[in-house]
A and B are shown apart, each in its own frame.
Chain A
C-alpha cells in the first residue's frame, strides 16, 4: 500500500503536467466522473456535509483489512472531483493514517488560490469529516 506521502507526490506530479488552470479543472472534472459513489440509501441529511454551496454526501465504512473506505456524491461535478481527489489521497488506508492526514497538498497544488472561499470551506469541512471517521474507527479498532 502506498503511504500518504507517496500518494501526495503522485497527485502533485499529476497536476504539474497541466500548465493552466482550465486544464487542471478539466482534470478535476474527469476525476469527478470516477468518484466511488455513495449508496443511495446513505444520501440522507445525516451524511450531508455542511458548509458547501453544492450538496455533498459522504459515507465511510470499515472496508477490507480494516481500512477506511469512503464513498460520496455531490450535485456539482467540480465538487465531486475534489472529493475524488481527497478520497484518492486518504481512502483505503488504516484508520490512524486517515486521522493524521494533512491538507497541505491542497496548498501545494495551488488549489487554495483557485477555490472560492465557500468551496474551500466546504473542502475543509469535508476533510475534517473524513478525519473524524478515521479517528472514530481507530478508537473502535483499538478498544
Chain B
C-alpha cells in the first residue's frame, strides 16, 4: 500500500486477460463481467498449468520418500514456502505454515496460542469490520474459557476509530484481531500503527490479510504483525490452501494443534515428541498440489507487479465511483480515504438480491448479502449490500457494462 506509481511501466490489461481462460465464457448469453473478486479470483493459465503439471509429472507424498518423485515434490513444496516467505518478507521460511485458508489459519492460532495463552477474563479486541472468520473462533474460546471480546468501533466512512482503539488497549488486552483490508467495505486499516499500539500495550496481533495480499504489497516484518493469515484462492491460487505467518519465537512456544504424521519427531505407544517448525503445525499429508501451485500464483502476481495491480484497481475504483455518482439514490458503504478494490452499495427502493439477480442475467457477477460481516451490516442498519470488487483483469469497459446493466436493472425494479 505504498505510493509508488512513478516508475512503473504501463500495465496492459488486454494482455493480462489472455492469461485467464474463464474470461472467454458467456453467462446467460452475455460476456462474463466478473466483479466478485473479493469472494474468489479467477485463475491464470500458469496456475492451472502448474496444477496439471504437478499431477501429471511429479505427484508423490512429501518429506518421507527416498525416491525421485518424492524428492521433486518435496523440493517444489518447500520452494513454494520460500516464494511465499520472500513475497511477504518473513524472516524465515519455517514461519510460513501451510493451512487450508485464512479461516483455518485463524483457527490454528485460536486452538494453539489462544487455548494455551488466554484465560478467563482476558480480553480479545476485534474490529467492527471483521469477517466472521476472525470473530467466530474467538466466540468459541469465549464459550470455553470465558474470555471477553471487545469491539474497535468504526467511523461512518468505514475507517476504524483509532482513538477508541487506543483507549480500549488500556484495559489489559491480550490479543488484537483485525483485518488488513475489509472485505465488506474495502477500508484499508492502518495495521502498522495498530500493531505498534498493541505491542506498547502488551498485546499480540492476529491480522487477517485475506483481502490485502491480492491488492497490495504486504511486508510482515515492516508491519511487525505477530500472526498474519491469508487464503490462496483470493490471490490467484487454488482453493483449499492458505498461509499462517507467525513469528518464530511465538510459533516455537505454541503447542501443536492437530496430531498425526509429519508433525512428530518420535513416537512411542504412550507419547510423542514433536517436530520442529513448520512441520509441528502441518499434521498429515498436506495439500501438496495446493502449496506448490500457490507458489506459482505468487510468481504470477510478481510477474505483473503488485504495484501495477494496485494502481490499476485503484483507477477502476475511481472510475466506478465517478460514474456511479450519477445514479439516483445510490449510497456507497465504505468511503474511507484508504480503500482497496471494493465498491459496496445499495440503491433506494431496491433490494440487493433483486439487483444481483438481474445483473447476473446480464452476465455481471457481483456479490449480494452480508459478506460474512453480519454485525457490520447491523451497525449500518441494513441487511446487506451489493458488492462489486476488482482484480487485475477487470477493465474500464467492464465498469461501463456494469453501470449500464445496473441502470437497466434499476429501471425494471423501481
Binding site for B on A (CB under 8 A): 20-22, 25-26, 29, 53-55, 75-79, 114, 116, 119
Contact = CB atoms under 8 A, between A and B. Distances in A.
Nearest to A21: B361
Interface in B337-371: 350-351, 353-354, 356-358, 360-362, 368-369
B377 to A, nearest CB: 12
B412 A79 contact: no
Contacts of A77: 350-351, 354, 413
A78 B353 CA distance: 8
A29 B28 contact: no
Nearest to A53: B353
A54 B361 contact: no
Contact of B412 (A29, A75, A116): A29
B23 to A, nearest CB: 21
Contacts of A29: 412-413
A20 B28 CA distance: 10
Interface centre among B29, B354, B368, B369 (most CB of A within 10 A): B354
Nearest to B384: A53
Contact of A53 (B361, B362, B368): B368
9 contacts: A20-B29, A29-B413, A53-B353, A54-B351, A75-B351, A75-B383, A76-B354, A78-B353, A114-B28
Contact of B354 (A21, A26, A78, A114): A78
A64 to B, nearest CB: 33
Residue of A20, A29, A54, A55 with most chain B CB atoms under a 10 A cut-off = A54
B70 to A, nearest CB: 41
Nearest to A29: B412
Interface in B363-395: 368-369, 383-384
Contact of A114 (B353, B361, B368, B383): B361
A119 B357 contact: yes
Contact of B357 (A20, A25, A55, A75): A25
A25 B362 CA distance: 12
A106 to B, nearest CB: 15
A36 B414 CA distance: 19
Contacts of B29: 20
Nearest to B349: A77
A53 B413 contact: no
Contacts of B28: 21, 114
